[in-house]
Amino acid sequence: MKLIDTNALIVLIIGLIDPRLINKHKRTSIYEEEDFEDLISFVGDFNELVVLPNVWTEVDNLLNNFKGNRKTEYIEQITSTIKLTTEKILETKIATESETFYDLGITDSLLFEYSKKCELLITSDSSLSDYAIANGVKVFDLVKNRNERI
C-alpha cells in the first residue's frame, strides 16, 4: 500500500480535474503538469492508495471552494477518488504518542506512524519526509523530485 499526504493529494485531485489548473491554482501554483505526471506514475493503482480521514478533511477544506462547473468537477473527482482508495482510521492519541508530534502535529504524525506499515509514503512535506526516511520508510517527495528535475 502507498500512503499519501495532504498536499500531494491536492496536486493529484487538481490534476485529475484538469492538469492545466495545477500551476494556476493557489494551492498548487509551485507545481507543473510534469509534477502531476510523476505523481500519477508513483501512485499507480488507486486501489493501493491509502488516505487517512484527517487528510481527506484537510483536502476538502482547502479545495471545496471551486465555483460553477469546476465545483461539479471537484465533487465528482473527489467522490470518485474516495471510492477507489482505501481509508485507514487511526486514533488521534496515536499522534500525541509519536516522537514526531511536537514537530509535525496531528495529521503528519499519524501519517508518519502509518507510513511504517506501507511500501511508500507520497508527500510534499520535507519535515515529514525527513522523519520517514530516517526511520527506513521509502518516500516519494514531490518537492524534492521537482527540485531535482529543475
Query: What is the tens place of the pLDDT at every residue in 102-141?
Result: 999 999 999 999 999 999 999 999 999 999 999 999 999 9
Helix, strand or coil for residue 23? coil
The rounded distance, in Å, linking the Cα atoms of 22 and 37 is: 11
pLDDT in tens, 29-77: 999 999 999 999 999 999 999 999 999 999 999 999 999 999 999 999 9
- The pLDDT, as a whole number, for residue 149 is 79
**Is the per-residue pLDDT at 85 higher than 90?**
yes
Helix, strand or coil for residue 103? helix
Give the predicted TM-score (pTM) of the model: 0.96
- The pLDDT, as a whole number, for residue 47 is 96
Question: What sign for the dihedral angle of Cα 109, 115, 116, 120?
Answer: negative
The rounded distance, in Å, linking the Cα atoms of 4 and 43 is: 9
**Is the per-residue pLDDT at 12 higher than 80?**
yes
- The pLDDT, as a whole number, for residue 150 is 74
137 contacts: CB under 8 Å, gap ≥ 6 = 115, 116, 118, 121
- For 111, the enclosing helix (H) or strand (E) is helix 101-115
The better pLDDT of the pair 149, 99 is held by 99
Q: Where are the beta strands (DSSP E) in the chain?
A: 2-4, 49-51, 86-87, 120-123, 139-141
> Out of 3.40.50.1010, 3.30.70.360, 1.10.40.50, 1.10.260.40, which CATH number does the structure's domain 2-149 have?
3.40.50.1010
CB-count exposure of residue 127 (10 Å: 0-12, 13-18, 19+): middle
